[in-house]
């Protein structure tokens, strides 16, 4: 057998290997560019949304300037010069989200702790599924339920009790001042709390389940109670995930529209009482945008731009908080 005949199979094998490597490189390059295009597409869409909001809001920016942020009155049909201010919607957005988080976070974490530490195994999945189903209910259903059921119940029972109990106390009495109302900031906050509860519970339950059993067993072995294990082991180990879930819920609360529009009262006036009607940025846009035109429409688009900036600031703050937690944990 000649030398050429001996080397031919080796050359063919080398060529096949080179061809396979070339195919791998081409497929890897195609995959790289597809993912890059997908990422750039998302950034392009985000940039397009911001640009369209700025262009639509520019007439209102020129007309009202920074006074738009400090003015409470909302009179877009006033002649000869309309008056529009975002102070009322901004106040309502922040207050309802704050009250909703104040209610939902302790309950959501408590449910998650119960499911991972106390609930019998046979009930864990059904209870968790029932809570997660709350996230699938359309927001307009929450709004209708709040308008026809929750609002009258609160106005007839809970609000009169709170007004009679706390309404005359100095300093905090103004917060619970009457009269009772079926449409109020508190009613909207309570519905928001119910809507964001599944997000906090589901994410917290999932991250609590990632705690290594050996850590909890070691804590129990040295005599810790369940509360001490949760406080000193489970929460510190999963703090990043818990904060992420809470911030996700906060983003949902800031931008919720239909459910809030049904039961908040759509009043631009700022009062100290949580039982008074109010409005949020998203509710104001939803209730007036269809009938708006000209400067009125531009003012509503400017409200949308403010909501975008507010949501972005919250998410950015959440990301910074998560980075600090990760650094503190040595990750």
Q: What's the pLDDT score for residue 322?
A: 75
Interval 161-178 mean pLDDT: 85
Interval 7-18 mean pLDDT: 62
Model confidence at 167: pLDDT above 90 = no
Which residue bears the tokens 């207050």? 95
Is the distance from CB of 260 to CB of 282 less than 8 angstroms? yes
Model confidence at 326: pLDDT above 80 = no
Gap between the Cα atoms of 262 and 184, Å rounded: 10
Residue bearing the bigger pLDDT, 235 or 23: 235
The pTM (predicted TM-score) of the whole model is 0.86
Q: What is the pLDDT of residues 263-279, one digit of tens each?
A: 998 888 888 889 999 99
Q: What's the pLDDT score for residue 331?
A: 54
CATH superfamily of 74-328: MetI-like (1.10.3720.10)
Residue bearing the bigger pLDDT, 105 or 27: 105
User: What six digits make up the tokens of 25?
Assistant: 């490189």
The CA radius of gyration of the chain, in Å to the nearest whole number, is: 28
Residue bearing the bigger pLDDT, 330 or 200: 200
User: What six digits make up the tokens of 280?
Assistant: 């949020």
Gap between the Cα atoms of 321 and 324, Å rounded: 5
User: What six digits make up the tokens of 112?
Assistant: 């998650």
Gap between the Cα atoms of 50 and 45, Å rounded: 9
Of the candidates 262, 304, 313, the residue with the CA atom closest to the CA atom of residue 282: 304
Mean pLDDT of the residues in the chain: 86
Which span out of 21-35, 126-140, 141-155 was modeled with the highest average pLDDT? 141-155
Q: What's the pLDDT score for residue 117?
A: 86
Q: Please list, in sequence order, all residues whose beta carbon lies within 8 angstroms of the beta carbon of residue 241, skipping any fewer than 6 positions away.
A: 203, 204, 206, 207, 210
């Amino acid at each position: 057998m000649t030398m050429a005949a001996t080397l031919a199979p080796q050359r063919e094998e080398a060529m096949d290997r080179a061809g396979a490597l070339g195919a791998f490189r081409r497929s890897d390059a195609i995959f790289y560019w597809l993912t890059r295009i997908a990422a750039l597409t998302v950034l392009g869409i985000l940039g397009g949304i911001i640009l369209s909001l700025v262009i639509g809001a520019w007439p209102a920016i020129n007309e009202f300037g920074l006074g738009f942020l400090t003015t409470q009155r909302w009179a877009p049909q006033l002649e000869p010069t309309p008056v529009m201010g975002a102070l009322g919607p901004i106040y309502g957005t922040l207050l309802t989200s704050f009250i909703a988080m104040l209610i939902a976070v302790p309950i959501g974490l408590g449910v998650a702790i119960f499911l991972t530490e106390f609930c019998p195994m046979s009930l864990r999945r059904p209870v968790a599924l029932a809570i997660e189903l709350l996230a699938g209910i359309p927001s307009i259903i929450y709004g209708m339920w709040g308008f026809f059921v929750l609002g009258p119940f609160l106005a007839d029972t809970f609000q009169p009790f709170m007004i009679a109990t706390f309404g005359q106390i100095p300093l905090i009495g103004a917060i619970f001042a009457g009269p009772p109302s079926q449409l109020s900031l508190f009613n909207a906050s309570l519905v928001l709390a119910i809507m964001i509860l599944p997000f906090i519970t589901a994410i917290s339950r999932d991250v609590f389940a990632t705690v290594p059993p050996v850590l909890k067993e070691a804590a129990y072995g040295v005599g810790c109670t369940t509360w001490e294990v949760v406080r000193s082991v489970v929460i510190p180990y999963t703090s990043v995930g818990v904060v992420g879930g809470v911030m996700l819920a906060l983003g949902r609360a800031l931008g919720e529209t239909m459910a809030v529009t049904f039961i908040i009262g759509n009043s631009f006036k700022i009062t100290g009482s949580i039982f008074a009607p109010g409005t949020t940025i998203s509710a104001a846009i939803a209730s007036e945008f269809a009938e708006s035109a000209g400067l009125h429409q531009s003012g509503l688009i400017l409200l949308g731009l403010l909501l975008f900036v507010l949501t972005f600031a919250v998410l950015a703050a959440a990301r910074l908080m998560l980075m600090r937690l990760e650094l503190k944990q040595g990750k």
